[in-house]
Amino acid sequence: MSELNKIALKILSNGKGILAADESNGTMTKRLDAVNVESTPKNRLAFRETLFSSESMKDCIGGVILYEETINQISNLGKSIPELISACGAVTGIKVDTGAKNLANSPEEKITEGLDGLRERLKKYYELGARFTKWRGVYSISNNYPSKLAIHSNAHALARYAALVQECEMVPIVEPEVLMDGDHSADECLEKTSEVIKKCFEELIMHKIDLSGIILKPNMILAGSNSKNKISNEEVSDKTLECLKNSVPTEVPGIAFLSGGQSEIEATENLNLISKNNSTNFIMTYSYGRALQQSALKFWSKDTTKITETQDVFNHRARMCTLAAQGKWTRDLENK
DSSP at 48: H
Q: Are 163 and 119 in contact (CB under 8 A)?
A: no
- Which residues have a catalytic role annotated? 175, 217
Q: Which stretch binds ligand 13P (CB under 6 A): 3-11, 36-44, 285-293, 312-320?
A: 285-293
Contact flag: residue 289 with ligand 13P (CB under 6 A): yes
Nearest approach, Cβ of residue 294 and ligand 13P (Å): 8
Q: Which is nearer to ligand 13P, 37 or 174 (CB)?
A: 174
Which residues make Cβ contacts (< 8 Å) with residue 126, sequence separation at least 6? 168, 169, 170
321: left (phi over 0), alpha (psi -120 to 50) or beta: alpha
Helix (H) or strand (E) holding 100: strand 100-103
82: left (phi over 0), alpha (psi -120 to 50) or beta: alpha
d(CA 72, CA 312) in angstroms, rounded, equals 27
Q: Which is nearer to ligand 13P, 4 or 321 (CB)?
A: 321
Mapped onto helix, strand or coil, the DSSP state of residue 63 is strand
Among 17, 93, 172, 260, binds ligand 13P (CB under 6 A): 260
Nearest approach, Cβ of residue 208 and ligand 13P (Å): 26
d(CA 29, CA 50) in angstroms, rounded, equals 18
Contact flag: residue 146 with ligand 13P (CB under 6 A): no
Q: Which is nearer to ligand 13P, 261 or 327 (CB)?
A: 261
Calculate Rg over the CA atoms of the chain: 19
Q: Which is nearer to ligand 13P, 17 or 253 (CB)?
A: 17
Count of residues engaged in binding ligand 13P, rule: CB under 6 A: 10
Among 121, 131, 136, 199, binds ligand 13P (CB under 6 A): 136
Among 50, 140, 259, 315, binds ligand 13P (CB under 6 A): 259
Q: Which is nearer to ligand 13P, 28 or 273 (CB)?
A: 28
Which residues make Cβ contacts (< 8 Å) with residue 306, sequence separation at least 6? 299, 300
Nearest approach, Cβ of residue 1 and ligand 13P (Å): 27
Q: Which is nearer to ligand 13P, 68 or 79 (CB)?
A: 68
DSSP codes, 134-203 = EEEEEE--BTTBS-HHHHHHHHHHHHHHHHHHHHTT-EEEEEEEE---SS--HHHHHHHHHHHHHHHHHH
Binding flags for ligand 13P, 298-317, as an x/- string (CB under 6 A): --------------------
> What is the pairing mode between strands 171-178 and 106-112?
unpaired
Among 291, 318, 323, 325, binds ligand 13P (CB under 6 A): 291
Q: What does residue 106 show for φ and ψ, rounded to 5 degrees?
A: -155, 65
Mapped onto helix, strand or coil, the DSSP state of residue 64 is strand
Q: What does residue 36 show for φ and ψ, rounded to 5 degrees?
A: 60, 40
In this structure, which amino acid lies at residue 127?
E
Q: Which stretch binds ligand 13P (CB under 6 A): 7-15, 179-187, 244-252, 286-294?
A: 286-294
Site for ligand 13P in 4-23 (CB under 6 A): 20
Among 31, 110, 290, 317, binds ligand 13P (CB under 6 A): 290
Nearest approach, Cβ of residue 63 and ligand 13P (Å): 12
Nearest approach, Cβ of residue 133 and ligand 13P (Å): 12
Site for ligand 13P in 157-196 (CB under 6 A): 175
Q: Which residues bind ligand 13P (CB under 6 A)?
A: 20, 136, 175, 258-260, 288-291
